[in-house]
Homo-oligomer: A and B are copies of this chain.
């Protein structure tokens, strides 16, 4: 894991809203049960936005930060963007921290 990415990941994690989002995405069936498209696709950006209570542009920026850090990924289906945790990356980060911190 490159230092730049480690830096980006820890910076991304240093904001409570972004940690909340990651937490919600861990068990989407618990937090986004009302989503129409199957949660296996991920969670739609608008759902996350409404859950935070912040503005659309702000949440879009948080999601972009998480994505640049490699902590989530998204796929576009039609006009929707579905977000998922990148659990492999998160596990790698945890392993790295356990090892080197």
Contact = CB atoms under 8 A, between A and B. Distances in A.
Contact of A23 (B10, B13, B22, B100): B100
Interface stretch (A58-66, A76-84, A90-98): A90-98
- Measured as residues with beta carbon below 8 angstroms from the partner, the interface class of chain A is 10 to 19
Contacts of A101: 13, 19, 22-23, 90, 94
Interface in A2-37: 3, 7, 10-11, 13-14, 16, 19, 22-23
A97 B90 CA distance: 10
User: Max chain B CB contacts within 10 Å: which of A22, A98, A101?
Assistant: A101
Q: Which of A3, A13, A16 has the most CB of B within 10 A?
A: A13
Contacts of A19: 10, 101
Interface of A: 3, 7, 10-11, 13-14, 16, 19, 22-23, 90, 94, 97-98, 100-101
